[in-house]
Each structure stands twice: as structure tokens, then as C-alpha cells.
Structure 1
Amino acid sequence: MAAINEALTDDELRSVLAKLESQRDKEVFGLVCKRWLHLQSTERKRLSARAGPHMLRKMAARFSRLHELDLSQSISRSFYPGVTDSDLSVIAHGFKCLTLLTLQNCKGVSDAGIIAIGSGLSSLESLDVSYCRKLTDKGLSAVAEGCSHLRALHLAGCKFITDVLLQALSKNCHSLQELGLQGCSNISDSGLSDLVNGCPQIKFLDINKCSNVGDIGVSSVSKACSSSLKTLKLLDCYKVGDESIISLAKFCKNLETLIIGGCRDISDSSIKLLAFSCQTSLKNLRMDWCLNITDSSLSCILAQCRSLEALDIGCCEEVTDAAFQGLNGAELELTLKVLKVSNCPKISVAGIGMVLEKCQSLEYLDVRSCPQITKGGCDEAGLQFPQSCKVNFTGSLGEPDVLL
């Protein structure tokens, strides 16, 4: 082994390591000798850990080229004291190559620790501090100012965030592509307008449960990010109505995922426009509790959106079997994999049969609380579900997260 170490340079050994495909083989590589272990450690790019300041310093010395660090805590099994501000200070000074940092559910973290991240990790491209509930505009604005290459920022559950942060992002982070603001109820239309003035490349925007956002904010996003926007989540944004959907239909031809569950003022007219505008791009559509939606717009969606893979019309009580009748004359098969029609009392076994005739790719069907649809009724009608399809009659099955 001494001869090999004398013959091969560090760069040549790194080339050998790079050709190993499995993680197990890479770990075994480090067991050969101290030199190989050191090289294996310096080449490691990703790490998930639970460690205090002392151990983090050791990790920083060993994994000097680390790009991705995940210190997230489990929601149900958090450990004490968890990640602290002093930990973040060590990370900011010890992991200078980091481009991705994940701190989900690290409830002990405050602005002081996040300010250290902003000042120390100028190469950071992705930060997830979802449910770090102590954070405010002060700490996260420091990240916006110090991490100008930021492409993804996830802040779900950070309820103290306001439009001030969106202004800071607009001013400093012009490459931002993903922004998660679920439950940040202090965000307003004004903040969204400011945001997209400086961040026109946004592909993914989650403003679920941002109850102060309305048509003005959504319309400003659709205009400024028209060529880039692919995912927009507006769950329970009750101020959002037809004006928002019309604007999306007019400007956002590449939209793939739209979540508008609970937006009760949205009606058939705007959904039809969306169906025609995004007929080749739209893959996922959630509009449960959109109480004004009827057969008219649903049949249009099914006829026009040939790439549709997931659809949720739960609690749309006016929808009937007639929405699916247009499928009988359709020449092409539906690409639908997930269909949720829970709490739709006017849909029957006959309607589901029409869907099945044109949809052999179905993987999950939710028919909970549909009084006309039972397992016995489906069996009696001789319905043939695709072999891999899970049918949720009673709520006993886990739900796919594609429409969350």
C-alpha cells in the first residue's frame, strides 16, 4: 500500500474516488489509511448532522469543501437544546464553501444566529429556515444583504416576516427563483409588488395562507415573472379572485402547478381562460373549496389540459357527472395520476367510470364523503381500476403530497 501512496498524487486519488458510484464504496475508500480518509473527507459535499459547537468545529476541519449541510430537526422528536445561535456562528466561520443550509424546525435559532450566516456565507444559494419561529425581518434581511447569490429561500411558518424582507430581497437577490412564505400573514400586495420588481426570475412562489394577499399582488407577480413562473400556491388566500386567474392566463404560459384551494370567489369564467392558456403546461391543479366552480370549467380543464397529472376538486359541491361526459368523445388518453373528488355529493359511480375509461395511468383516487360512491357500488358496476391505483373510500390511505 505504501507503493501506491508514493505513486499516486492527491489529485489522482481524488479521480479514483470520483469514479466510485455507491456511497458504501466511498466510505470504504476512507478506511484504507489516514491519507485516504482525509481525501475522502475533503471531497464530501453533503452532510446531515446533529452536533453542538465543539463537534461542528471538528466537522468543519474534516469536511472542508462541504457544499450542503442539513441540521433540520424532526417536528415530533426534537432534541434539546437543538441548533443554537452559537452553532450558526461556528457554521458561518467554518463552512465557507456552503451553498445550501437547511434548518427546518430549529426553534432555538434567533436573528443573532441568522445574521452570522448572512455575514459569513457569501456563497449561500439556498436557505431553509421553515418554522424557525423566532426569526424576523432583521435577521433575514442580513441574509438578503450578505448572500446576493441566493436562489432559494423557504420561510414557512415565520410569522414575524413582513414586506420589509421582500424589499431587501428585491434590492439584493436578483437571482432568486424559489420563495416559500406559507403562513407569513403579514405579507401584503405591496410587498409582492416590490419583490418582483427586483426578482423577475421567480419560478416557485408559495404564499399559502397569506391572508393579506389579493388580486393586486398576484397580478404583479404574473406580469413580472411571466416567462419564469411555474409553481404558484395560494391556498386559503381568500382575497384572491378571478382577476388573479385572468392575469395568470394572460401572462404565465409556462405555469405547471396552481394551488387555489379555498379561494372561494374564483369562478368558471377565469378557469376556462386558464385552461386554454396553459393547456400544454398545466400539470397540477388544486381548487378544493372553490364553491363557484361547476361542470362548465371542469370539463374545459379535462378537455384542454392534456398534460394534467393531478386534480383536486374536493368540496366543489356543484360539480356533477356531466363534467366527465366530454371524455367519451376524446381520442387521447388522460395523463391524470391523482384525482381528488372528496365531498362532491353530485358525482356518482357513473362519473368515475367515465374517468376510468380514459385514464389508465391513475394512481390515487380520493372519493371520501361522496354519498353516491362506495366500494360496493363500484364493485357492482364492474369498475376496473388500474392495477397500481389506490382508492381512498374512508380516509385510511396516506395522501400523495403533490397538491400540498
Structure 2
Amino acid sequence: MAFSSSTDSPSITIMVCINEALTDDELRSVLAKLESQRDKEVFGLVCKRWLHLQSTERKRLSARAGPHMLRKMAARFYRVLELDLSQSISRSFYPGVTDSDLRVIADGFKCLRLLNLHNCKGQQIKVLDINKCSNIGDSGVSSVSMACSSSLKTLKLLDCYKISDESVLSLARFCKNLETLVIGGCRDISDASIKLLAVSCKSNLKNLRMDWCLNISDSSLCCILARCRNLEVLNIGCCEEVTDVAFQGLNGRGDTELSLKFLKVSNCPKVTVAGIAMVLDKCETLEYLDVRSCPYITKAGCEEGGLRFPERCKVNFTGSLAEPEVLLCEWTRSASAGQNL
């Protein structure tokens, strides 16, 4: 694109290429002054350079789902902050958002802050892994729990720091078929929501990871052990408020046994040999017990206390908290798809 400029002499014409005269920042300023979305789209039709600038400046995008189309959009509009995939409820022919769509969104839209899935027929989504998505908050999780209430079985929210009780309460209300929940590192979650979750999902919950949930205490753990009869994996590592009191309720279960296969209480400084003894009295299925960095639980102390571990149980007394958890990986590989922590 060029502009001509005539001087006083009619025989001299100066041609100026606008792409050479204007910097990217200046072109962005021009784009910012365009009020309508249509004008901004026309801006991108001028040339490839202008199209690239128009694409990178796009912050909000409305589109239909589908992995092929989403990949193309992610490559072009990679700085999008808001992605709206909401659908009209009348469009019954449209299949809606699938797991493949969510994988493309997670991998391709690196700057995404808001995802609208309203009426997207997410009833088929069974596993949703958004571990370490630090900008995911309660509104997003609540929307997913409502949309996928009948199908969602596995939800992983590891280190999603903006998640609080509101998310867990929503899961307890809508997702009663939930089998696996990972909320490790979500430090704003408290006993109130966990107790309601234990009541609502008591028949189906099998795997619960809530290490580093610093507001979790005896009351919620006692409720989990009393209600969730099918629980097989429990990780309460670094929950420093948990004490032996959390396990005292096991004495009132009669002949009912725990289903636990994996229990991690590492770095729980208030849990002692007495607490572990109460667990062992009600759990013959235990395959792995992690008590690292528990100052009151040692191998010698367990022997002195007369603790008898199940024959197949591996007990981890020592080692760094950062060491590879080989046994956990082996156990989860043998578990059913989507159930590993």
C-alpha cells in the first residue's frame, strides 16, 4: 500500500509505502480507534501484516466448538483472553463441546482467562484435568459442575489457587457421581465444603487428594472416613491441623472395614502412632502408607506400639518429600482409566 504526495513542482511525485512508514505500535493505535468489530475485520483484509496485527490484538472470540477449527483459531488468535463457545439451547443438532475440544483449548490458548461453555451439551465429559491452571476460579468450576453434573467422574484442580469452598459446594450439589477429586494446593478450601462433599458423594468417591489444604482439620477427615465407604486413595499430606482425633470415629464403625489402599499422611506433625493404629484396625486392604516427616511416627515407634500392617502394605517412613513416588505411580497405572491421582 502506498500514498502519493505532490510537491510544488508538478513533475515530481513522492510515493510513500504505509507499511514502511508506520510501526506496529502505530498500526495498533489505528486499530484501537476502530469502533465496530466489522471495521476491525476489514482492517485485517488489507495485507498479511495487518491481518497478523488484527489477530494478535483480538481479546475476545466467539466460535463453535470442534478440534480442527479450534486449532486454527488458536494458531491465529493466540492472545485471546475470552473464548465464548456458548450455544443456543434450540440448536439440538449440534453435538456440543467434547474432551478433544477442551484438550485443544488447554494446549492452544495460552493466555485464556475466561471460557464460556453455556449450553454446550457437556453431559458426556467424564474427565477434566485443569491442574495448575492458576487463573481458573470458582465461577468456572461451578459452571462445569452444573453442565456436566451427570457425567463428570474425575476432576483435577491441583494448585488452582483461586479455587475455594464455592467450587467444592457446587460439586457436592451437582456432581454426585464424582469418583476422583484432586484439590491439592487449594488452600482456601475448608472443612465446611469437604463435609458436604463427603455426604453427597459418599457412594462413589474413590480417590481424594487434598494435600496442602491447610484449612482442613479433623472434623472433615472424620466425616470422609465415616461416609465414603468406597474410598481407596486418600492424600492428606501437609494438612498440619489433622490429629489422631480424625481417626477416632473409626472405632464406632462396628465391623465395617475401610476400603483404603493408599494413604498418605506425610508431614502431618500432629498424627501419631495411635492414629495409624486406629486406621489399621479397620483397614486390611492397605497397600501403601506414607508417613514421611511425621515426627511422632517412626518404624521403631510402630514396632513398640505393636502395629501390624497388612502383608502387602509398603510403609514409607523416610526419604525426601520430593522423591519420586514410584509405588503411587505403579498403583495408579493399574487403576481404571481416569481414576489416577
Change (3 A) 1:142 1:389: same
Aligned-residue CA RMSD (Å): 3.1
- Aligned counterpart, 1:186: 111
5+ unaligned residues in a row in structure 2: which ranges? Answer: 1-60, 72-77, 333-339
Change (3 A) 1:290 1:384: same
For residues 312-327 of structure 1, the aligned pairs below 5 Å read 312-327=235-250
Change (3 A) 1:291 1:185: farther
For residues 298-317 of structure 1, the aligned pairs below 5 Å read 298-317=221-240
How far residue 165 of structure 1 moved from its aligned partner, in angstroms, is 7.2
Aligned length in residues: 253
How far residue 186 of structure 1 moved from its aligned partner, in angstroms, is 3.4
TM-score by length of 2: 0.67
Instruction: Give the number of the structure with larger relative contact order, counting CA–CA contacts within 8 Å between residues 6 or more apart.
Output: 2
User: Could you say what secondary structure the match of 1:368 adopts?
Assistant: coil
Matching residue within 323, 330, 337 for 2:261: 337
Distance in 2 between residues matched to 1:349 and 1:292, nearest whole Å: 23
Structure of larger gyration radius: 2
How far residue 378 of structure 1 moved from its aligned partner, in angstroms, is 0.8
Change (3 A) 1:168 1:269: closer
Distance in 2 between residues matched to 1:283 and 1:277, nearest whole Å: 13
Could you tell which deviates more after superposition, 175-184 or 317-326?
Answer: 175-184
Matching residue within 284, 308, 326 for 1:398: 326
Which residue type is aligned with residue 186 of structure 1? Answer: C
Matching residue within 336, 343, 358 for 2:282: 358
- What percentage of residue pairs aligned between the two structures are identical? 64
- Aligned counterpart, 2:85: 167
Distance in 1 between residues matched to 2:108 and 2:66, nearest whole Å: 21
How far residue 201 of structure 1 moved from its aligned partner, in angstroms, is 1.6
- Aligned counterpart, 1:277: 200
- Aligned counterpart, 2:190: 267
- Aligned counterpart, 2:56: none
Contact 1:187 1:210 in 2 (8 A): no
For residues 133-282 of structure 1, the aligned pairs below 5 Å read 143-145=67-69, 167=85, 174=96, 176-177=98-99, 179=102, 181=106, 186-188=111-113, 190-191=114-115, 193-194=116-117, 197-282=120-205
Contact 2:86 2:119 in 1 (8 A): no
5+ unaligned residues in a row in structure 1: which ranges? Answer: 1-136, 148-159
How far residue 382 of structure 1 moved from its aligned partner, in angstroms, is 1.3
Contact 2:86 2:120 in 1 (8 A): no
